[in-house]
Amino acid sequence: MRISAFVILLTLFHMSVGQDLTDDMRDTEEKLYASTKQINQFFRRFNGEEDEKGERYYPADKKYRDDGLRRKYLPNLFDRESGYINESLARDFMKEVTDRKTPSFLDLHDKEMFAEVSAVFNYKGKETSALLYMKIQQQGQGYEWVIDDVAFDPFKKQYKKDTSESKRFMHPMSHELAFMTLRKALQNEKYPEQFTPREFQPDYLTLFLYELKAGNLKFKTVKNVKFHFFSIEGWYFELANFNRSGYNTGWLISNLVRLEGNQKQMMKDYIYDKN
């Protein structure tokens, strides 16, 4: 009898452990399904091009870009934990992009989408961060990512254009002196950009490439990546990767803004650090 009771207890213990393990595996599986692990997966989920388990839908499939499927998926594509997403604004956004008459979809090759890459470089012996703005362009029968612009503090500090009344200038009659006033303007002058037109903007990408070619700038690693979308008319949103426990993880919409008037260009200038 004692042996029989022991066997029963042992069996119940294994059943309990087995059930816990099954529950843990189911929970892990559900989290994996919930997590948007890849950029392309974010696009497919936003567009309603895959089911809840990650199986692809194609144009011939009945559920491809289904309104109901998109309304179900979209709330899970927002960062719900950081507190940066306005719930009311998100509902308005989801309602607009899933409108049956004028639905909006995302395309990786859209010119109104670009990536922001935070990278680490060694610049003249010091470790320095830079932002590389990447866009995708057509190349032959395919596409390629290219560096569209750069934001780099050491360059920005070198080009401080003085717009005050005390700024130096070349006399308007310099032409009568065969522009010999250039000697004063360019010799021992810390900020020669004072003598350029008001609309002058330094080309940081050219400077960046020059320093790379000269060997003064050496790439080390990538720290972080974000994506910026202006693809939906009247809206801007940012996509970021959240590596954390739980279901609200992976590539998620981390910022959402409604755009009016010239706010689109203002937002782009802000992101590109042109202000």
Over residues 121-177, the pLDDT tens digits come to 999 999 999 999 999 999 998 999 999 999 999 999 888 666 665 677 888 899 888
Dihedrals φ, ψ of 240, to 5°? -135, 160
pLDDT digits (tens, 9 = 90+) for 168-227: 788 889 988 898 988 888 887 777 888 888 888 889 999 999 999 999 999 999 999 999
| Candidate from 71-85, 86-100, 176-190, 211-225 with smallest mean pLDDT | 176-190
Count CB-CB contacts under 10 A for residue 12: 10
Residue spans per domain, the chain: 21-111+244-250
Using alpha carbons, select from 132, 155, 149 the residue that is nearest to residue 224: 132
Using alpha carbons, select from 154, 159, 157 the residue that is nearest to residue 124: 154
Count CB-CB contacts under 10 A for residue 25: 10
**Dist. CA 70–CA 74, nearest whole Å:** 6
Flag whether pLDDT at 101 surpasses 50. Answer: yes
pLDDT of amino acid 128:
96
pLDDT of amino acid 38:
92
The partner residues of 101 in beta bridges, in order of sequence, read none
Both structure tokens of 122: 């060694």
Instruction: Please report the sign of the dihedral spanned by the C-alpha atoms of residue 136, residue 232, residue 35, residue 271.
Output: positive
250-258 β-sheet, strand order: 142-151, 126-139, 113-123, 217-229, 235-242, 250-258
pLDDT digits (tens, 9 = 90+) for 8-64: 544 444 445 444 434 443 444 455 456 788 999 999 999 999 987 889 999 999 999
pLDDT of amino acid 5:
54
**Dist. CA 118–CA 221, nearest whole Å:** 9
pTM for this structure?
A: 0.82
